[in-house]
């Protein structure tokens, strides 16, 4: 706690984990959010969160309304899915993702009426339990990209939590959706934070923002001035300041022990858009049905921050933003952690924050050459791992060595692969190494 202070702590240059400079490319940052008209169809996959997939609660040809429950599961960790439009359920079919996974999706044809369902009403929140209960029916998940159900994250013993971190770093290049949320909806951001602090009893909250967003810092600092519990912490605008473990270390000086969670060291971390959605939900009772995306890339004629309904197919978004025919690379998310898409008939889900499309002149990663042991990956890893050693151990499937190197601590920010002069697939190997370690641990458990 001694690292906490008043405004004096909000100096950014002295943070411990410095990260690397990557060109920000946030050309749309100062553009007002535009709203995309309703698409011709809305696809709602049943898995838009961490946890158990939902089960469709509607039938084919059924009429649904805005805010009506579409997907629900009785599992312990899950998050309900609500209809963003009013219309007719056309079909329930499989949707295939580029990573080889597929999922059940409810396809709705909007009728354009946007009639709000009767179940949508302002939740009554009187204490912490009722806040968690209300958020269970909000459809709000971690909107920074993780998709962890918001209610589940706070549904734990909060007595030892002393800091509620709010992540407005947005360190991914290109993306500016969190920034727009802070600038356009600072009021709901603060309402969400205040409600969370009020009902949970957590003593303070820090909104962490990279210093390339001075407007957001200034605005939130001004608006939060009347509440001594809320402060703004400036982070250097260097990648990956937004990674949860990096933010925790840089703001509080603590580190999450291996295999642990942020709550183990007295902190909670919510994305700033998640907080804003919580504030909005408590005000209106309308579940999460919309999502702001940064649509950019050299194939996009009209780059913008676009508000779309959840479930909009990416092909329609690309068309709306004037994507040149035959893009070469389409990425959901940012260029550092996003996933490329080979199939454009997939929907935007709740936790997506960006859609990038590049033509033939888009980013090309050069050919891989021999490792020259420059140790750039080791020097720049925000978690201080040894990516090249993990890569070698993974090639040998040496799980003992992977365990020794603690490959499972990786946050997969991709810094190692970015800085590598010989373009080794470092984060890619580490991703596979983590899966290998998990499988090994499961096996060991089964044996016992």
Partner 1 sequence: MALFKRHEEPVNLDNPANNPLVLRPAPQISSAVTTHIIMRDVLVALAPATVMALVNFGWHAALVIATSIASCVGFEYLWCRLRKTPQTIGDLSAAVTGLLLAFNVPSTLPLYMVVIGAFVAIIMTKELFGGIGKNFANPAIVGRIFLAVAFPVAMTNFVPSSVLLPEQAAFDLVSSATPLAASAQPHSYLRLLLGIHAGVLGETSAAALLLGMVFLLYRPVITWHIPVAYMGTVAVLSLLAGKDVVAQLLSGGLVLGAIYMATDYSTCPATKRGKLVFGIGCGLITCLIRFFGNLNEGVAYSILFMNLLVPYIDQLTPNIPVGGEAIMAERRRAKRGGKAHE
Instruction: With contacts defined by CB under 8 A, name the span among 34-42, 93-101, 201-209, 228-236 that binds partner 1.
Output: 93-101
Which one among 136, 221, 328, 401 touches partner 1, defined by CB under 8 A?
A: 328
Task: Rule CB under 8 A: say whether 419 interacts with partner 1.
Answer: yes
CB 42 within 8 A of CB 84: yes
- Minimum distance from CB of 404 to partner 1 (Å)? 8
Whether the upstream peptide bond of residue 270 has omega within 30° of 0, thus cis, is no
Give Cα separations from 291 to 107, 188, 235, 369 (angstroms): 18, 15, 25, 40
378 binds partner 1 (CB under 8 A): yes
CB of 392 to partner 1, least distance (A): 12
Q: How far is the CB of 1 from partner 1 (least distance, A)?
A: 19
Q: Tell me if 114 contacts partner 1 by CB under 8 A.
A: no
Count of C-beta atoms within a 10 Å radius of residue 324? 16
Chain centre to alpha carbon of residue 196: 19
253 binds partner 1 (CB under 8 A): no
- Dihedral sign from CA coordinates of 338, 341, 344, 347: negative
Is residue 245 near partner 1 by the rule CB under 8 A? yes
Nearest to partner 1 of 32, 343 (CB atom): 343
> Nearer Cβ to partner 1, position 114 or 255?
255
Our CB check for partner 1 shows the closer of 6 and 23 to be 23
Nearer to partner 1, 96 or 221 (CB): 96
Alpha-carbon gap, residue 236 to 224, rounded angstroms: 21
Q: Which of 49, 292, 329, 434 binds partner 1 (CB under 8 A)?
A: 329
Phi, psi of 439 (to 5 degrees): -60, -40
φ, ψ of residue 134 in degrees (nearest 5): -65, -45
Closest approach, Cβ 323 to partner 1, in A, equals 12
How does DSSP assign 334-382, residue by residue? -TTT-EEES-S--B--TT--EEEEE-TTS--PPPP-------HHHHH-T
Could you say which of 34, 263, 284, 428 contacts partner 1 (CB under 8 A)? 428
The nearest distance, CB 26 to partner 1, in angstroms, is 14
Q: Least distance in Å: CB of 102 to partner 1?
A: 8
Closest approach of Cβ 370 to partner 1, in Å? 5
Whether 140 contacts 265, CB under 8 Å: no
Of the residues 2, 370, 396, 445, which one makes contact with partner 1 according to CB under 8 A:
370
418 near partner 1, judged by CB under 8 A: yes
Q: If binding is defined by CB under 8 A, does position 152 make contact with partner 1? A: no
Give the one residue of 225, 372, 439, 444 binding partner 1; rule: CB under 8 A: 372
Whether the CB-CB separation of 129 and 70 falls below 8 Å is answered with no
Q: In angstroms, rounded to a whole number, what is the distance separating the alpha carbons of residues 16 and 316?
A: 43
Task: Return contacts of 424-430, CB within 8 angstroms, 24+ apart.
Answer: 424/368, 424/371, 424/377, 424/388, 424/391, 425/368, 425/391, 426/377, 426/387, 426/388, 426/390, 426/391, 427/387, 429/387, 429/390, 429/391, 429/394, 429/395, 430/385, 430/387, 430/390, 430/391, 430/394
Which residues, at least 6 apart from 414, have a Cβ–Cβ distance to it below 8 Å? 336, 337, 427
Which is closer to partner 1, CB of 8 or CB of 400? 400
Identity of the residue, 138 or 429, whose beta carbon is nearer to partner 1 in the bound complex: 429
Q: Does 384 bind partner 1 (CB under 8 A)?
A: yes
With CB under 8 A as the contact rule, the residue among 338, 346, 352, 402 that binds partner 1 is 338
Which positions lie near partner 1, rule CB under 8 A? 17, 22, 96, 98, 100, 173, 245-246, 249, 255-258, 260, 326-331, 333, 335-344, 363, 365-366, 369-376, 378-379, 381-386, 388, 406, 409, 412, 414, 417-423, 425, 427-428, 431
């Amino acid at each position: 706690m001694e690292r906490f202070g008043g405004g004096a702590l909000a100096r950014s240059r002295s943070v411990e984990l410095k990260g690397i400079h990557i060109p920000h490319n946030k050309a749309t940052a100062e553009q007002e959010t535009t709203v995309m008209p309703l698409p011709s169809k809305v696809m709602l996959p049943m898995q838009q969160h961490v946890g158990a997939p939902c089960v469709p609660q509607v039938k084919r040809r059924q009429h649904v309304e805005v805010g009506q429950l579409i997907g629900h599961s009785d599992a312990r960790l899950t998050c309900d899915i609500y209809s963003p439009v009013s219309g007719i359920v056309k079909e329930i079919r499989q949707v295939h993702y580029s990573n080889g996974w597929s999922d059940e999706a409810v396809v709705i044809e909007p009728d354009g009426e946007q009639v709000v369902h009767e179940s949508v009403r302002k939740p009554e929140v009187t204490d912490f339990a009722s806040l968690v209960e209300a958020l269970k029916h909000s459809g709000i998940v971690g909107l920074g990209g993780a998709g962890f159900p918001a209610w589940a994250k706070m549904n734990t013993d909060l007595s030892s939590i002393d800091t509620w971190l709010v992540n407005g770093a947005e360190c991914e290049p290109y993306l500016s959706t969190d920034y727009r949320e802070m600038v356009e909806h600072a009021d709901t951001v603060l309402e969400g934070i205040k409600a969370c602090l009020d009902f949970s009893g957590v003593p303070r909250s820090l909104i962490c923002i990279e210093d390339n967003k001075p407007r957001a810092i200034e605005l939130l600092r001004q608006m939060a001035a009347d509440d001594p519990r809320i402060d703004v912490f400036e982070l250097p605008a260097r990648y990956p300041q937004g990674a949860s473990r990096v933010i925790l270390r840089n703001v509080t000086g603590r580190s999450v022990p291996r295999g642990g969670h942020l709550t183990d060291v007295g902190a909670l971390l919510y994305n700033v858009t998640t907080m804003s959605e919580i504030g909005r939900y408590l005000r209106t009772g309308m579940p999460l049905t919309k999502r702001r995306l940064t649509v950019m890339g050299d194939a996009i004629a009209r780059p913008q921050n676009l508000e779309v309904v959840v479930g909009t197919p990416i092909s329609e978004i690309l068309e709306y933003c004037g994507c040149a025919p035959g893009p070469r690379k389409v990425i959901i998310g940012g260029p550092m952690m996003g996933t490329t898409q080979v199939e454009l008939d997939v929907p935007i889900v709740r936790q997506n924050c960006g859609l990038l499309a590049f033509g033939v002149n888009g980013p090309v990663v050069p050919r891989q050459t021999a490792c020259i042991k420059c140790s750039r990956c080791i020097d720049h890893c925000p978690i201080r791992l040894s990516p090249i050693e993990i890569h070698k151990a993974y090639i040998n499937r040496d799980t003992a060595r992977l365990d020794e190197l603690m490959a499972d601590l990786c946050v997969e920010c991709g810094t190692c692969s970015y800085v590598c002069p010989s373009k080794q697939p470092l984060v890619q190997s580490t991703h596979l190494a983590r899966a290998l370690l998990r499988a090994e641990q499961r096996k060991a458990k089964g044996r016992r």
